[in-house]
Structure 1
């Protein structure tokens, strides 16, 4: 299964509007050619029209293939300012009109408000902005999904050995965002990752809550956290196939899973691995990427009420186009 090709195909079938707040950035401009020529999305670039148009021509990109909005002169700016002030007041964190105006002129916040109001299906930034800024704007304007308190991230690990996971694809979470999740947050990560995997791959999630213990083989407060997270996730979604605590070999190898966790619908068959903290998750995905020669696609953000994604500042033009497609696929139908 060529995951990225499938994501692109699914995105082209939907062709949603995706807003790109870093509209004057060269790689972002160049990526619009791939996005529009393959029908992956309808891109909106944020920034000063004269600057984006001039730079597009210098890069030999047709500026007519995308729409440009300047947040500072937008006809919707006043509406966005009022909406933002109402949102902050409802959360008990009122802001002045002057502060709200300054905030909404920021392309990250303007783009997030477009998504919040349904004027774009998703937002993608991070080529020149730090992850913290991208996430903060999304958290303040879009917020998280009902029942999910914390946004998180996941990687799609595309393995050479297709016997693992779903046709060689394993979903790892969280490997990039939440350093030390408590049990409730860990449950949120599991639920959000299962939903993301369904949307992107169409698989039936089999979620393994990983630990250094399998079914009571060790006693420790860290094991207790994973057990509690598993219980909370099952309580929130009784239909989800999720099991824990499981060691990695019990989660992935059928013979070991059957021996260590007999009767489990997940052990030995897991396609989603939830790590107990960021330290473990980050180390694991890098080891699998380097030692097993896997392709790591991500991190992809999840848990927000509507799709927002963050790019690496070292991203390529192709990376941006692929993440535009991913952001589109994650949008609700």
Structure 2
């Protein structure tokens, strides 16, 4: 998936091929309903929409949506509510939650949808058109929890044009990760790359290339590289390349790499870029999007045991469709 065909078209086709079951917990928002119609038209996924059945059914009918593979659940009237509340209480009782608070939480659409994911009744969740990022991520961390070998949940962006797809991480979540957290981000990002058919060639970025400058920043990326290698060796059986610390041009431009770091296994052909902190990562993805004209798909959450993805509250229905497709592909594992 690194070149040629439009990236979005690729993920839509791949999602349709795997045909997973996605829950959309924001059924009261018209963008969710519009996205549901588009997903049904594309035959891309089965859907469960959370909210008022009468209102959602009416809205879908008004749009002429095909509803054969769309289920609607209202947590307030669902037969699952008490069972889900009990499950949540058992998960969180050591944190001090009461049965009453667990029941109240399960009446929330995102919490209810997340419990559907945990129980395997759906394959993944997409939220955030209405809810904030914390309100989307918190239920996932409390109910689904982090993936095996991961302590730090992170985010990444696919940055694409007609020629290539590259990956930026973490550009949306962790403010100032330490070396151990960066190693988790590397592992999660490599797993995501593999899920989408990209061989991970990972560069840990800094203002220094192989000791050209000194400081705590380069030292952190050097340590993170070593820790990440150990994690990747357990997970990838050599099917990856990694190097750090590197400046961006040393990681991305073969001629520069030949001069600055001739022994680098990346040889200036990195496709996965790990940033030292959120400030750098967020600025770089926006620069690449606005100045270089790359398309940005994300932030895509990674490191959760089952796929949950967050939207911008400024999203449109097409953004929801794209996020649902990405979530479906992540659900393949």
Q: Structure 1 regions of 5+ residues with no counterpart?
A: 163-167
Paired residue secondary structure (2:78): coil
Which residue is equivalent to 1:170?
A: 166
Contact 2:124 2:331 in 1 (8 A): yes
| Residue 230 (1) aligns with residue 232 (2) | no
In the aligned structure 1, how far is the partner of 2:227 from the partner of 2:79?
45
Query: Alpha-carbon deviations, 1:58-102, whole Å to 9, x = none?
Result: 44445555110111111111221111111113xx31311100000
Alignment counterpart, residue 8 of structure 2, candidates 4, 10, 30: 4
Query: Alpha-carbon deviations, 1:145-193, whole Å to 9, x = none?
Result: 0111111111111135x3xxxxx11100111111111111111111111
Q: CA deviation at 1:23?
A: 1.1
Q: Structure 2 regions of 5+ residues with no counterpart?
A: none
Q: CA deviation at 1:264?
A: 1.7
Alignment counterpart, residue 81 of structure 1, candidates 85, 92, 99: 85
Alignment counterpart, residue 111 of structure 1, candidates 98, 110, 113: 113
Which residue is equivalent to 1:259?
A: 259
Which residue is equivalent to 2:241?
A: 241
Contact 1:49 1:68 in 2 (8 A): yes
Alignment counterpart, residue 213 of structure 2, candidates 218, 224, 248: 218
Which residue is equivalent to 2:150?
A: 148
Paired residue secondary structure (1:123): strand
Paired residue secondary structure (1:231): helix
| Residue 284 (1) aligns with residue 284 (2) | yes
Return closer, same or farther for 1:34/1:58 CA change in 2, 3 Å cut-off.
closer
Q: CA deviation at 1:32?
A: 1.1
In the aligned structure 2, how far is the partner of 1:63 from the partner of 1:117?
23
| Residue 304 (1) aligns with residue 292 (2) | no
Query: Normalising to structure 1: TM-score of the pair?
Result: 0.94
Which residue is equivalent to 1:165?
A: none
Could you list the runs of 4 or more consecutive aligned residues of structure 1 that deviate by over 2 angstroms after TM superposition? 54-65
Query: Alpha-carbon deviations, 1:7-40, whole Å to 9, x = none?
Result: 1111001111000000121011111111111111
In the aligned structure 2, how far is the partner of 1:62 from the partner of 1:330?
25
Which residue is equivalent to 1:271?
A: 271
Query: Alpha-carbon deviations, 1:231-254, whole Å to 9, x = none?
Result: 111111223421100000000001
Q: CA deviation at 1:258?
A: 2.0
Query: Alpha-carbon deviations, 1:105-142, whole Å to 9, x = none?
Result: 11111111111111111000111111111011111111
Which residue is equivalent to 1:125?
A: 127
Alignment counterpart, residue 204 of structure 1, candidates 199, 204, 212: 199
Query: Normalising to structure 2: TM-score of the pair?
Result: 0.94
Q: CA deviation at 1:51?
A: 2.1
Contact 1:20 1:124 in 2 (8 A): yes
Contact 1:159 1:292 in 2 (8 A): no
Which residue is equivalent to 1:37?
A: 41
In the aligned structure 1, how far is the partner of 2:177 from the partner of 2:60?
43
Paired residue secondary structure (2:95): coil
